[in-house]
A and B are shown apart, each in its own frame.
Chain A
């Protein structure tokens, strides 16, 4: 079975601080991995993705994520938080490689304190 776990439904950081949003998955085969961001009253948009190749992936707005197969993790980071980063973040995994059923995590709401 495929599942995605995001540790922490709410994360709060100060402006300028490091952002770390955790995502772990369970899969019997190497998955495709995605992070999506949802701003208030909007749909989801892709932040970054890992399919193959380099395990450190850079996305939009200064975010990056590292695929660690041994830890079955795909944590999202940003060195310095900005007020505009406040949103809900979803980690997602293909249930079967190449078949985009996109199993989503529960989501993490990121709050930025001034």
Chain B
């Protein structure tokens, strides 16, 4: 079954404690992306990757890092989380050409206290 898997689904952490949210896809997609969803703001892109070792900033990259060492994985790293990063996070992947649909993970609800 084609899927994008995020872990964990729910996470409560404290300010400043480094965390990683994993994302894995089994469709051999070149393109992967992270979004955060906040009420009234829709989905905003954090980072995206066009292929292994190729990453670029989205619209709201501050406070986040990513890496793409393998095609299937695209982890999101928060080196020093702050309360304003409390949000619902989604990972997505897509094949090339980029007019194709994106597949989304189930989401990770992060709370930073």
Q: Which residues in A have some Cβ–Cβ distance to B below 8 Å?
A: 4, 6, 9, 32, 34, 36, 41-46, 49, 51, 90, 92, 94, 98-107
Q: Are the C-beta atoms of B104 and A104 separated by less than 8 Å?
A: no
Q: Are the C-beta atoms of B48 and A101 separated by less than 8 Å?
A: yes
Q: Are the C-beta atoms of A100 and B40 separated by less than 8 Å?
A: no
Q: Are the C-beta atoms of A43 and B104 separated by less than 8 Å?
A: yes
Which residues of chain B (33-64) have a CB below 8 Å from chain A? 33, 35, 40-45, 48, 58-59
**Residue B21 interfacial (CB < 8 Å):** no
Q: Are the C-beta atoms of A46 and B102 separated by less than 8 Å?
A: yes
Residues of B within 8 A of A6 (CB): 42
A-B contact pairs, 8 of them (CB 8 A): A43-B105, A43-B106, A44-B92, A44-B104, A49-B99, A100-B102, A101-B45, A103-B59
Q: Are the C-beta atoms of A9 and B40 separated by less than 8 Å?
A: yes
Q: Are the C-beta atoms of A90 and B42 separated by less than 8 Å?
A: yes
Q: Which residues in B have some Cβ–Cβ distance to A below 8 Å?
A: 4, 31, 33, 35, 40-45, 48, 58-59, 90, 92, 94, 97-99, 101-102, 104-107
Contacts known (A94-B98, A98-B98); A43 close to B41, Cβ less than 8 A? no
Determine the distance from Cα of A51 to Cα of B99 in the docked complex, in whole angstroms. 7
Output the nearest chain A residue to B99 by Cβ-Cβ distance: A51
Q: Are the C-beta atoms of A106 and B40 separated by less than 8 Å?
A: yes
Residues of B within 8 A of A104 (CB): 35, 42-44
